[in-house]
A = this chain, B = another copy of it.
């Protein structure tokens, strides 16, 4: 019997335990929010003693921060051809499955913890630095370029909220193809130089 069998009990492996805690935390925080998640919950999901949360992360808050840290700037998301950026963003927010975040886009999931000021700040930075900044390049940069980029971001975020959180029927049942023609029009209305 190979020795890995023993070690496959997933025990005594700092990196693995930390990662399991982080995974569990991402899921719980995404689904139930910061207040709705207890350290015991997370530790239980990871099949680990709650004390390890503090050993590895210092506090519930720091675990939350690390678990909800935006992943890589999604290089592929912003890498492709410019004209397709809005479609890719919308797809990422509304249609992509994020198994690590209970299925939702991280931004949408973080809204669930927006009662905490710091979470709001992180949301603002992420929306401004990533979405608005990238979209503003498409607006032709007029005097209201940022406003239009924000308005388009608002639309995408709103779609995400209606689809993932509130669950209105039409948007929830829609496919990317269903949305495509409307996306075109809204792009034309908000993003393209007026």
Contact = CB atoms under 8 A, between A and B. Distances in A.
Interface of A: 32-33, 35-36, 111-112, 114-115, 120, 123-124, 127-128, 132, 144, 146-151, 153-159, 161-162, 165-171, 174, 178-179, 181-182, 185-186, 188-190, 194
Given A35-B35, A154-B159, A169 B190 contact: no
B115 A35 contact: yes
Quickly give the copy total for this chain: 4
30 contacts: A32-B115, A33-B35, A35-B35, A35-B115, A111-B161, A111-B165, A112-B115, A114-B165, A114-B166, A120-B165, A123-B165, A144-B178, A148-B182, A149-B170, A150-B162, A150-B168, A150-B171, A151-B171, A151-B179, A151-B182, A151-B186, A154-B158, A154-B161, A154-B162, A155-B158, A156-B158, A158-B158, A185-B194, A186-B186, A188-B189
A188 B161 CA distance: 23
Contacts of A156: 158
A121 to B, nearest CB: 8
A193 to B, nearest CB: 12
Secondary structure dominating the interface of A: helix
Contacts of A127: 162, 166, 168
A161 B162 contact: no
A90 to B, nearest CB: 11
Nearest to A147: B170
Contact of A115 (B33, B154, B170, B181): B33
Contacts of A159: 151, 154, 158
